[in-house]
A and B are shown apart, each in its own frame.
Chain A
Amino acid sequence: EDKVVQSPLSLVVHEGDTVTLNCSYEVTNFRSLLWYKQEKKAPTFLFMLTSSGIEKKSGRLSSILDKKELFSILNITATQTGDSAIYLCAVEAYNNDMRFGAGTRLTVKP
């Protein structure tokens, strides 16, 4: 059965800290791995990763995929209170399914 596992489930840090969120997966016919940020309602897109070893960056956020070991990490440097959210990892298969992990709830304290 396909599965996407995120860790930790919850994380509390202080502003300025760096965090690393993990996502491992077992999905048949893997196509891509996506990271989303969910604050109040709909998930908002962060990154889409399809190739191993190529880091994607957007400001203080970066992510990388390891297709051999079947995992991805999302790094956030110099965290701010506005980074507080649930970070969702989703894996897309070639049949158009997208399966989400349970998410990591990040709380950044001032």
Chain B
Amino acid sequence: EPEVTQTPSHQVTQMGQEVILRCVPISNHLYFYWYRQILGQKVEFLVSFYNNEISEKSEIFDDQFSVERPDGSNFTLKIRSTKLEDSAMYFCASREGPTMKYGYTFGSGTRLTVV
């Protein structure tokens, strides 16, 4: 079964450093998303991406964050100048199209720990 692949599975970084979280969506999917889940809290929408541009972003997704699809397969989330409160599980998701029957497919997540 096709999978969304995320790397690394766990990243530890020092406060103030930049991190890049990587995702390889399912190959025929066109819509891509990043979500985060702070430990013990609910899953929060960060950003959606379609046709090589951001289609929607939440209030969490401020100038500290950016996304890109540099090579047509990888979909990355960059977090600049990380803060302690950025520690969370970050999920990438993709789906085939706007009328997809089976919902989104999530990757297994990257656990980011900022120390």
Contacts and interface: CB of A to CB of B under 8 A. Distances in A.
**Chain B binds chain A:** yes
Interface residues of A, number: 19
B45 A41 contact: no
A98 B33 contact: yes
Interface string A64-94: 0000000000000000000000001010000
B108 A41 contact: yes
Interface string B6-41: 000000000000000000000000010101000001
A96 B106 contact: no
A44 B43 CA distance: 13
B24 to A, nearest CB: 14
Given A42-B107, A43-B106, A98 B42 contact: no
A103 B58 CA distance: 20
A45 B104 CA distance: 7
A85 B59 CA distance: 29
Contacts of A42: 91, 106-109
Contacts of A45: 102-105
A41 B109 contact: yes
B104 A102 contact: no
A42 B35 CA distance: 11
A34 B42 contact: no
Contacts of A44: 106
Contact of B89 (A41, A97, A102): A41
Given A42-B91, A43-B43, A102-B42, A97 B106 contact: no
Task: Select the residue from B42, B56, B98 with max chain A CB neighbours within 10 A.
Answer: B42
Given A48-B101, A96-B98, 6 more contacts: A36-B103, A42-B107, A45-B105, A99-B45, A100-B35, A102-B42
Interface of B: 31, 33, 35, 41-45, 48, 50, 55-56, 58, 89, 91, 98, 101-109
